Amino acid sequence: MLGYINYFVEQENIKTLIVSNEEEIKDNDDYARKKEKLIGATFNYTEDQNLAIQSILDEVGKDELKGRLIETIDLITQTFNQVGYKNLRSFKQTIFSFERFYKKEYFEGNGFFDKEIFGRILKSFIILSLENKKGYFERTILEFKKDEKVDDGEKANAQSRILKSFRSISSTDSEKFMNKYNCSLNDFIFSSNLWNEILSLNIIEVSKIKEELYEKYFRLKGDPPTWFKLMDFWDLDELSFDTLIRKAQNEIENNTLIDATDVLHTISMLIYLKEKNLIFFSVSPLLPIAKAHWKSLTTVDERMKKIIDFSFIEYSGSYGFYANGIGEFDQFIREVRDSYEDKYKENNIERIKELLDLMETNGMLFAQRISLTNNEENYYYDYPILKEIDSKIFAKKLCDIKRNHSNSILYGLSNRYTVQAPFNMYNEEKEWFHAVENYIKSEILSSADRILKAKINLKILPKISEIKEAVQE
């Protein structure tokens, strides 16, 4: 390229301006020699960062939000520099994503706008969005690469492990991340699952956002529960400590707690304090009472089919359990986790009935239910619900319903099995899908009239074949 430009300069006497990012040009002696021969003067361009950020904020369409962002421009600039990803295009995308996410009602508690939680969420949004664009996370937001080998000295340092557990540090990568921002997982308020929905999947579920904000900020700020007061037991006098312990014990025995997360944290504190010889009664008789009460209080989220350890800690008030790592508590958590999955499955009969009804009445909603989209109705995109449906009943309905509904359902199946995702739903439901196809070919087609045969041969079976070919590529 320099040789080509040299012809203009030397032979045609044309004044030439070269604009480039020199950091991306391989630095070697050959380049340096040619540059020195050809380039007369070099000027460096550095953008006015503050002016650029101000300009981006001025483009926000919601006037109320724009005013709040401009009020917090120092926080925004500081966070942008802390991330260290000097890509204004990505920053602009992040601000516009925040505008799409933002609702004033999220941050209103006790009748006034809470500037503290607005600033914390805004800072978290900028950090996680830009770090995600940098490719820092493993697969989903706040998921870090696991260490291949754990140092023996680190294994032996129990106090260090406990402190890291409280900060949700599980690997070298996660420790670097938390140290960079001098934070723990609690500081991000929302669970990693919710952040991933917002930032990676573009799913904005208002009710879930408000629920987590209440659970992890507004509720604890207003009237702290007993377990929350016990977390700072070091600063309590003995009388106050014993009073809180009796209250916590009675709350479990009498099922007086009305929040499922309070049940778990109360048990966690009691087991931890028992382990540290600060209380002297057995906690074991309280565990089955607590598990049953937790299950009765827990509302099944249609998008949360099971609870895994890491997300479960976040889900429970965003505060790590003090008793984490103590065998009795870990077993209790496993049983509680299983009880949630059991409760979810208890409603499968109703879910199947609803899906079969939707096949006849609203094929598009059926497709949304089973597909990975940014629609709030995508309940089962990550759950193999279809194999719970009798393949013969599904096949018959698919052929009998109106063409617009069958087209929508087939589109939903195509999206379900071909859209790239962390899971492979086709592998989960392959046998069921083939059973549907085989029943249409062997039973329905042979007895169909000529109109239905045309519908099957021209529309349904070709689309099924197309889906199979796409997933096998």
Q: Which of 127, 120, 161, 122 is nearest to 142 (CA)?
A: 127
pLDDT band of 224, cuts 50, 70, 90: confident
Query: Position 299: which residue type?
Result: T
Q: What percent of the chain has pLDDT over 70?
A: 92
Q: How many domains does the chain have?
A: 4
Q: What is the mean pLDDT of residues 65-85?
A: 93
Whether pLDDT at 54 is above 70: yes
End position of a domain, from candidates 327, 345, 363? 345
408 and 323, same domain (yes or no): no
Q: Which of 78, 146, 72 is nearest to 310 (CA)?
A: 146
| pLDDT of the residue at 167 | 45
End position of a domain, from candidates 216, 245, 260? 216
Indicate the range of 45-59, 154-168, 267-281, 365-379 predicted with least confidence: 154-168
pLDDT tens for 422-438 read 678 899 999 999 999 99
For residue 101, being part of any structural domain is answered with: yes
End position of a domain, from candidates 162, 190, 216? 216
72 and 184, same domain (yes or no): yes
Please name the residues in contact with 209: beta carbons below 8 A apart, sequence gap of 6 or more: 103, 106, 190, 194, 198
For residue 435, being part of any structural domain is answered with: yes
273 and 138, same domain (yes or no): no
Residue 2 CA to residue 125 CA, distance in Å, equals: 43
Cα-Cα-Cα-Cα dihedral sign, residues 56, 57, 58, 62: positive
pLDDT band of 309, cuts 50, 70, 90: low
Residue 260, domain extent:
224-345
405 and 442, same domain (yes or no): yes
90 and 170, same domain (yes or no): yes
120 and 183, same domain (yes or no): yes
Residue 117 CA to residue 218 CA, distance in Å, equals: 9
The secondary structure element, H or E, covering residue 340 is: helix 327-345
pLDDT band of 421, cuts 50, 70, 90: low
Please tell me what DSSP assigns to residue 110.
Answer: T
| pLDDT of the residue at 156 | 42
Instruction: Give the DSSP per-residue string, 198-234.
Output: HHTS----HHHHHHHHIIIIIHHHHS--HHHHHTTGG
pLDDT tens for 448-457 read 999 999 999 9
pLDDT band of 30, cuts 50, 70, 90: confident
Mean of the per-residue pLDDT values of the chain: 86
For residue 354, being part of any structural domain is answered with: yes
Whether pLDDT at 310 is above 70: no
Indicate the range of 90-94, 113-117, 134-138, 262-266 predicted with least confidence: 134-138
